[in-house]
Amino acid sequence: MNYHYQIKKATELSGEEIKTILSHWAVEEWREIEPDVFIAKFRGSEFHVLYSEQGELLSVARMNFEFKIIFNDLPYSFAELVGLVSIVKEKGFARYLLKEIQQDFYFRNIPAIGFCSFDLREFYRKCGIESMPGKAKMLLEKSDHGFIVSEDDDILLINISGEYRKLLNGLSFDKPGYLDLTPK
C-alpha cells in the first residue's frame, strides 16, 4: 500500500478533517470547537498528515511553531511535536508519519522536539526517536502560583543538533529551562 504524506496549514484542512482530528485528540474540551475557532487557535502550526491512496486520513501530528524555551535568559525557538494520533490503529501509521516528519525537519534544518510520558518512551524508541529521559521535568512553566513542572518525563529529539542539543543536555534541576508560552 502506498501512502501520501502532506503538510498543511490549519486553513488547508477540510471541516471533516478537523472534526476527525479533534475526535481523536485526548483534549475533551476541544472536541466541539468549530473549524474557524480551530483555524484561529492553531494558526502557528503545521499539520503533518498521512493519507491512504484513497484519501483516507490515517495519522496526523501537529507541529507547533510558537514554542520557545528560555535558557540563561535567552529564548530558543523549536518546532514542537504535539497531537500525534493514528486514526487507524495498530498498523504502523504513526511510526511511518514520524519518519516523514523527521526527514522533513532535517531537510528544512528546523530544530524540533516533542515530549512524552514514561509509558510512551518505548513506543518512541521503537519508532527510532532518540529521547532524553527525565529531561522534560527540568522545564518549568510559569503559573499564577510560581512554576509548574511538566507532566511529561522525556524530551523527544525529532531534529536536534549542535547548540540546541548542548542546551537540552545541560538541563538540570539546578539549571532548568523555562517555557515561553506567549503567543507570537
CB 51 within 8 A of CB 42: no
- Please give the average per-residue pLDDT across 20-45, as a whole number: 90
Q: What pLDDT is attached to residue 183? A: 59
- Please give the average per-residue pLDDT across 149-155, as a whole number: 93
- What predicted TM-score, i.e. pTM, was given to this entire model? 0.92
CB 59 within 8 A of CB 87: yes
Helix (H, G, I), strand (E, B) or coil at 100: helix
Q: Who has greater pLDDT, 148 or 105? A: 105
Q: Which is nearest to 156 in space by CA: 119, 125, 110, 126?
A: 125
Q: What CATH number has the domain bearing residue 118?
A: 3.40.630.30
C-alpha separations of 33 from 8, 37, 53 in Å: 19, 6, 29
Host H or E run for residue 166: helix 162-169
List the domain range (segments joined by +) for residue 22. Answer: 3-180
Q: How many domains does the chain have?
A: 1
β pairing state of 74-86 and 3-9 = unpaired
Task: Judge whether residue 184 has pLDDT over 90.
Answer: no
Q: Give the separation between CA 39 and CA 34, rounded to whole angstroms.
A: 9
Host H or E run for residue 64: strand 57-71
- Give pLDDT tens digits for 104-138: 999 999 999 999 999 999 999 999 999 999 999 99
What confidence category does residue 22 fall into, taking pLDDT thresholds of 50, 70 and 90? very high
CB 50 within 8 A of CB 1: no
What confidence category does residue 182 fall into, taking pLDDT thresholds of 50, 70 and 90? low
Q: Which is nearest to 63 in space by CA: 41, 43, 48, 85?
A: 48
